[in-house]
Chains A and B, each alone.
Chain A
Amino acid sequence: MSLQVVDGQVVRPPAISRFWSWALVVRWPITLVTVALILVVWEIAARTFAPAYVVGPVQIVQEMVSEIGRLSVLSVYTLSRILAGFLIGASLGVLLGLINGAVDSFREFTEPVVSLTYPVPKIALFPALAVIMGYTDVSRVFIIALAAFYPAYLAAAAGSRFVEPTLIQLARNAGLGRARIFLSVITPAAMPRVFTGLRISLAVSFVLAYVAEALGGTGQGLGFRIVFVAQTDNYAPLYAAIACFALLGVLGDRLLLWIGRWVTRGQELEVIGDAR
C-alpha cells in the first residue's frame, strides 16, 4: 500500500473513502432491494402455495419478539458453552501456534503429532466422549475446545513462521532478547493471520456447540430447543430458534472481525476470502 505524507504525517490514501462514497451511493440500494425482494417472495410463498413448514419472515420475527425472554436465556446457555470452549481451545492454539512458528525445535517435536491428529473429525469423537464422560457440559466444552484449537493453532503457526525476517533482524540488532522479540515483534506481526484463524475457530465452535447439544442429553440451550421443537408440528418456534442461533453466529463473527481490525489497525487484514 502506498502511503501519503500530508503536513509531515503519514495518512492512508483517499481511495478507501472514495470507495465508500461510491459504495454507499450505488451498491447499498441494490443490496437492499435484493434483500427486500427475497423477503417479499419468501413471505408471499409462505402465505400461499408453499407447504406448511415454510414460515414467512414476518411470522419468524413476530415469534422471535414474543419469545425474546426464552430465547435470550437459551442463548446465554449456549453462548457460555461456546465461549468457554472457544476461549480454552483458541487461546491454547494461538499460544502454542505462535511458539511453534517462532521456535524451530518446538515445531520439529510437535509438527507430526499435529498433522496426524488434525484430519480426525472432532465431531465424530463426541459420541465416544459422551459415553466416557456422559452428556455433560464438560464433554461439550471439551469437544468445542478441541475443535477450536486446530484452526487457531495452524493460523498462528503460519503467522509467526512467516514474519518478515527483516523485522526480527532489526529487533535483534536493537539488542532485544528472545522473549522480547517474541512478544513485541513476532506476536503483533502474526496477528492478522491469527485473527483469520480465530474466526474459523469461532465458526467451528458454533457448529460443535449445536451438535453437542443436539445429539443428546438434557439441558438448556438453543440446540436442545431446535431439536425439541423440530419434533412438533409447530414450525414458527423452530424457525425462531434457528434464526436466533444463526444471528448469534453472524454477530460473533462480526465482533471478532472488529476486534481483529482494532488489534491489527495499521496492518493489512484479509477481509474477503475469510472464514474457514
Chain B
Amino acid sequence: MRGSGTRQVTRGVIGVIVAVGLWWVASVVFVGGGGGRIPTPLQVVQSILMLVTDPDFWEATAVTLGRGLLGLLGALVVSIVLALLLARSRLANAALEPLVSILYPVPRIALFPLAVIALGVGALSQATLVGLECVFPLTVALYAGLRSIDRNMIWLARNTDTGRLRTWALMLRLALPSLFTGLRIAAPLMLTLAVATQMFAGSSDGLGYLIQLSAARIQTTTIFAIAVLIGVIGFLIDQGVVLLERLTTAHQRRISI
C-alpha cells in the first residue's frame, strides 16, 4: 500500500462528499417522466430519523425478519441434508449434483405467484421463496466445505468405529467455516427476497408492504429511507454472522482453507 492511512481516509471522505453532492444536484435538476423528483440527501436523512422513532417501522421490520429467518432456517436444514448426501453418497451425487448446478441459475422469484396460489398470501409463501433462494448458495458452499475435509479425519473416524451420525456431525463441524461462507451469501438474499415478496399485490404487512404503501402515497423520500435502513439492517446481520463464525470456529481457524 503506497498511500498513508490519513491520505486514504481523506480521499474516501472526499469521494463520499462528491457522491452526495452529485446526488443533491441530481435531485434538484432531474425531473422524472412521472413528474416526480429524486429526494435530496437531507430529506432522506430526516425521513430516516422519523422512521427509526416510528413503532410501525420496527413492527414491519420484525415481520420481514421473522419470515426471512423462517425461510433461511428451512433452507439451512435442507442444505445440510443435501450437502451431506452429495458429499457422502456417490449415487446421490451422480443423481443430484447436475440438478443443483442446472437449477442454480433459475430465476426463482418468478415462482412466487405459484407459491401464493399454493400457500396463500403471507408468511408461508414468502418464507418458501426465501428458502428456495437461500438453499442453493448454502448447499454449494457446504458441499465444497465437506469435500475439502482432510480425508485422514474421515479415515480416523472410520478406524475408531465412530458411528455414522457422529461422523456426519464431525464432518459438519469441520465444514463450519464453509457453511458460514454460504450464510454470508444467503443472508442478504434472505433480506432482499423477504422484502421483495412483500412488495407484490395482496401483501398486507412487512417492509415490502410499507414501501408499496409509501409509493401509493407518492412518498418517494420514505422509500429511499426504508431502502437505506434495510441496507443498514443487512450490514448488521452480516456483522452478526461474522461474529457467530468467530465464536463457533475459533478452535479451527486457519486449518480449513
Contact = CB atoms under 8 A, between A and B. Distances in A.
Interface of A: 26-27, 30-31, 33-35, 51, 53, 104-105, 108-113, 116-117, 119-121, 123-125, 127-128, 130-134, 136, 138, 199, 202-203, 206-207, 210-211, 214-215, 222-223, 226-227, 230, 235, 238-239, 242, 245-246, 249-250, 252-254, 272-276
Contacts of A104: 1-3
A123 B199 contact: yes
21 contacts: A27-B98, A31-B95, A33-B95, A53-B114, A104-B3, A108-B12, A121-B191, A128-B224, A131-B34, A133-B32, A133-B33, A211-B196, A226-B110, A226-B113, A227-B113, A230-B116, A230-B117, A238-B113, A253-B105, A272-B140, A275-B136
Given A121-B195, A131-B34, A245-B110, 18 more contacts: A109-B15, A112-B12, A113-B16, A121-B192, A121-B196, A124-B199, A134-B33, A226-B110, A230-B116, A238-B113, A239-B114, A242-B110, A249-B106, A250-B103, A250-B106, A272-B101, A273-B141, A276-B185
Contact of A34 (B96, B189, B211): B96
Interface stretch (B50-58, B70-78, B226-234, B244-252): B226-234
Interface residue range, chain B: 35 or more
Q: Which of A124, A203, A214 has the most CB of B within 10 A?
A: A124
B102 A250 contact: yes
A81 to B, nearest CB: 13
A207 B109 contact: yes
B29 interface: no
A127 B8 contact: no
B102 to A, nearest CB: 6
Contacts of A239: 114
B36 interface: yes
Nearest to A247: B106
A34 B99 contact: yes
Contact of A124 (B13, B14, B227): B227
